[in-house]
Amino acid sequence: MARRSAPTLLKRLIDTSSGLNPNPNPNLTKPWLSHSRSVTYMPRPGDGAPRKVTLIPGDGIGPLVTGAVEQVMEAMHAPVYFEKHEVRGNMKKIPEEVLDSIRKNKICLKGGLATPVGGGVSSLNMQLRKELDLYASLVNCFNLKGLPTRHQNVDIVVIRENTEGEYSGLEHEVVPGVVESLKVITKFCSERIAKYAFEYAYLNNRKTVTAVHKANIMKLADGLFLESCRKVASKYPGIKYNEIIVDNCCMQLVSKPEQFDVMVTPNLYGNLVANTAAGIAGGTGVMPGGNVGADNAVFEQGASAGNVGSDEILKEKKANPVALLLSSAMMLRHLQFPSFADRLETAVKRVIAEGQYRTPDLGGDSTTQEVVDAIKKYLD
């Protein structure tokens, strides 16, 4: 009798055990791919203690989408609980007890706050960032599987300086009919935001940082910003550094967004770039973001456009909770609860991919609650 080779016997054994399919599990021949879990996260003693989070529901659809987050956190027994404070965009200032709460808890989840146009009322969003020195805004704009967009392979992180520039709020009327608005750029803040952008890229295995500017016109202000970025870039030789003028940047974003990786910007440009990138990648209703400083962090919908919604959406209770839910996943990672963040992000992406439950901004007709219920079913 002819001898069978070892590979032939192994193939017969696999064929016999798997019925008609000769190789039902391709990982059998690739044992390094057979485990679904990654190397485990080892917490420090006490890391599982529940964390108190300051919650600001905000205006418009804010209470609806922050309520969605509360439901999902409760459903998956996340180790966080909320200390709720009512803040409205038409208030003259952020109440001191709210600032004290954030300083104590060091973490906040926030719905949208309406900013009145004109009238001399300052933005509470700006107040919050300045009072807590939340100098870095981060918005992650990326394609979601199952959500059709004009461009694919978009995965952009916009890191925006949050405390100065055109948002300094230094305006005055020189003479009747002539108003002067000051743009303030400092070396300290520019180097600080550049360092944060490169540090983010390094820690997240990002390959390129692009500085957005208008130094061809604002040679001193934006020139100082670029000098600061170049100085910091020289300390990260493993990360490619580019520069782009803001108007060309906008054109490149809408024509070839996949070329961008991490973008670092002064205040005003960052707001424009982040909202544009969010619209390209799938809409402001699905893009997460947050604001961070040395001591505190505030998580909210990544792109500001539409974050308080419309009266019609509020009346029909069809606000999209996805952006704030993904921002909450970012918050959970910030709090060092990675498995809860993974579960939440996976459930949200699965509901988006299946496409059965989508709010009107994504082409569906589902209510906020229907989307939340669908996500809760996938929290395994």
Residue 11 pLDDT more than 50? no
Mean pLDDT, rounded, for 7-17: 41
Alpha-carbon distance of 224 to 214, in angstroms, equals 11
Using the Cα atoms of residue 222, residue 228, residue 232 and residue 234 in order, give the sign of their dihedral: positive
Mark whether 202 and 297 lie in a shared domain. no
Question: Among the three residues 263, 281, 299, which one is the final residue of a domain in this structure?
Answer: 281
Mark whether 166 and 234 lie in a shared domain. yes
**Assigned domain for 370 exists:** yes
Mark whether 243 and 318 lie in a shared domain. no
pLDDT score at 90: 86
The identity of residue 287, as a single letter, is M
Per-residue pLDDT tens over the stretch 263-316: 999 999 999 999 999 999 999 899 999 999 999 999 999 887 767 778 888 899
Q: DSSP strand E in the chain: where?
A: 51-56, 80-84, 107-110, 136-142, 155-161, 171-175, 178-181, 208-213, 240-245, 262-265, 288-292, 297-301
Alpha-carbon distance of 69 to 54, in angstroms, equals 13
**Assigned domain for 122 exists:** yes
Average pLDDT, the chain: 89
Alpha-carbon distance of 37 to 16, in angstroms, equals 29
Find how far residue 350's CA is from the centre of its chain. Answer: 18
Longest distance between any two alpha carbons in the chain, whole Å? 108
pLDDT score at 219: 96
Mark whether 172 and 250 lie in a shared domain. yes
**Assigned domain for 31 exists:** no
In the 8-state DSSP scheme, what is residue 280?
Answer: H
DSSP 3-state of 300? strand
Question: Among the three residues 250, 281, 312, which one is the final residue of a domain in this structure?
Answer: 281
Mark whether 313 and 265 lie in a shared domain. no
The identity of residue 74, as a single letter, is E
Mark whether 269 and 306 lie in a shared domain. no
The identity of residue 321, as a single letter, is P
**Assigned domain for 4 exists:** no
Alpha-carbon distance of 37 to 33, in angstroms, equals 10
Per-residue pLDDT band for 3 (boundaries 50, 70, 90) equals very low
Per-residue pLDDT tens over the stretch 133-142: 999 999 999 9
**Assigned domain for 12 exists:** no
pLDDT score at 41: 81
Mark whether 350 and 365 lie in a shared domain. yes
Alpha-carbon distance of 275 to 141, in angstroms, equals 9
pLDDT score at 8: 45
Structurally, the chain folds into a number of domains equal to: 2
Q: What are phi and psi of 327, to 5 degrees?
A: -65, -35
**Assigned domain for 143 exists:** no
Mark whether 235 and 259 lie in a shared domain. yes
**Assigned domain for 23 exists:** no
Mean pLDDT, rounded, for 326-340: 96
Mark whether 126 and 159 lie in a shared domain. no
pLDDT score at 40: 83
**Assigned domain for 95 exists:** yes
86 Rama class: left (phi>0) / alpha (psi -120 to 50) / beta: beta
Distances in whole angstroms, Cα of residue 198 to Cα of each of 52, 209, 218, 243: 30, 7, 24, 14
Residue 2 pLDDT more than 90? no
pLDDT score at 116: 74
Structural domain boundaries enclosing 367: 50-135+288-379
pLDDT score at 34: 47
pLDDT score at 306: 67
Per-residue pLDDT band for 172 (boundaries 50, 70, 90) equals confident
Question: Among the three residues 215, 248, 281, which one is the final residue of a domain in this structure?
Answer: 281
**Beta strand pairing call for 208-213 and 262-265:** parallel
Per-residue pLDDT tens over the stretch 195-233: 999 999 999 999 999 999 999 999 999 999 999 999 999
Mark whether 157 and 276 lie in a shared domain. yes
> Tell me, what CATH number does 329's domain have?
3.40.718.10
The mean-pLDDT minimum among 5-9, 195-199, 305-309, 361-365 falls in 5-9
DSSP 3-state of 375? helix
The identity of residue 250, as a single letter, is C
Task: Quote the percentage of the chain above a pLDDT of 70.
Answer: 88
User: Which of the given ranges, 3-12, 29-38, 95-104, 123-132, has the highest pLDDT on average?
Assistant: 95-104
Per-residue pLDDT tens over the stretch 108-146: 999 999 887 765 557 898 899 999 999 999 999 999 999
DSSP 3-state of 172? strand
Per-residue pLDDT tens over the stretch 228-259: 999 999 999 999 999 999 999 999 999 999 99
Mark whether 215 and 175 lie in a shared domain. yes
Angle between helices 62-75 and 368-377 (to 10 degrees): 20
Using only the alpha carbons of the chain, give its radius of gyration: 24
pLDDT score at 5: 46
Mark whether 164 and 274 lie in a shared domain. yes
